Structure 1
Amino acid sequence: MFKMREVQKPRLALNCVGGRSSQMILRQLNHGGVMVTYGGMSREPVPVHTSLLIFNNVTLRGYWMTAWTHKHAGSPQHQQMTDHISQLLIEGKLKSPVHKLVPVTAYKEAIESVLNTRGFVGFKHLFDFQNKG
């Protein structure tokens, strides 16, 4: 018979959406866990129940990658990060998200799709500057 192994709750959560989903993420964190918010795709605030802050002792952090990149451009840390991410891609341990290549001439379609009232569309739009449409 297959025996399930108990898995500990995570101590770190990465949040790029915000809104209600961030609340669900926070509930899954281990006592003393940290949630780092680095994006706000839902365009909604990150709601936090007081009980999570007090009784679960969670910590919330913000992270702005663009500022880090500007500060560390050309530094050994930046090169090390780039090399590490490249190696993960080569090994297949890191994969690009589901995406749709959009000719740059069709930018209006991509923007309208992203700004729709339905919200998440299931893939990212990537502009293809090589394909003029």
Structure 2
Amino acid sequence: GAYAVVKEEHVGSGLFNGLGLPAPRLALNAVGGVSSLNLAKTLANGADSTMVTFGGLSKQPVMVPTPKHIFGGINSTGFFLNQWLTDSSKDEVDSTFQELTDMGRAGVLKAPQAQYIPYARGSGMADALLAVREGE
């Protein structure tokens, strides 16, 4: 349930900061390096905020600002699907995929409607993002 999905190069820009959206509590990191640093900076403070790293495309270490860990209390964890599949019993894997399938059939888990809006100054993007925020 994201309000908006933001490309990394726009994180922290005045346009997105001015929308008044709540700080995210989940960051999905496939890159590592500076990208992970930027993602971690956006997370809301609190133990219920987590950055999950599932890839390392930059081949650089995951970076999290020290104040976010110490004072913000955010979590950072890794997930390796192949290892999870190896370590889990067949019943656990089947049960997990069945649960995801059931959630999809019940409409709880669904692909969001998406519209790509290229960013260009004066292109009306601010209006489009405000519409997203207001659920239009």
TM-score by length of 1: 0.55
CA RMSD in angstroms comes to 2.9
Q: 1:66 to 1:28 in 2, by over 3 A?
A: same
Distance between the aligned counterparts of 2:30 and 2:101, measured in 1?
18
Q: Taking every aligned residue pair, what percent have the same amino acid on both sides? A: 31
What is the match of residue 80 of structure 1?
Answer: 95
Alignment of 1:36-115 (within 5 A): 36-75=52-91, 77-83=92-98, 84=100, 88=104, 93-94=110-111
- 8 Å Cα contact 2:40/2:65 also seen in 1: no
Q: Alignment partner for residue 32 of structure 2, among 11, 15, 18?
A: 18
> Which protein has the larger Cα radius of gyration, Structure 1 or Structure 2?
1
- The answer to whether residue 41 in structure 2 is matched with residue 27 in structure 1 is yes
Q: Name which structure has the greater RCO, CA cutoff 8 Å, separation 6+.
A: 2
Q: Deviation of residue 17 (structure 1)?
A: 1.0
Q: In terms of mean alpha carbon deviation, does 17-26 or 64-73 score higher?
A: 64-73
Structure with the bigger percentage of strand:
1
Consecutive aligned runs of 4 or more in structure 1 exceeding 3 Å deviation: 85-88, 91-95
Q: Deviation of residue 87 (structure 1)?
A: 7.0
Q: In terms of mean alpha carbon deviation, does 19-28 or 7-16 score higher?
A: 7-16
Q: Alignment partner for residue 7 of structure 1, among 5, 14, 21?
A: 21
Q: Which runs of 5+ in 2 are unaligned?
A: 1-17, 113-136
Distance between the aligned counterparts of 1:16 and 1:5, measured in 2?
26
In structure 2, what residue type is equivalent to 1:50? Answer: T
Q: Which runs of 5+ in 1 are unaligned?
A: 96-133
What is the match of residue 123 of structure 1?
Answer: none
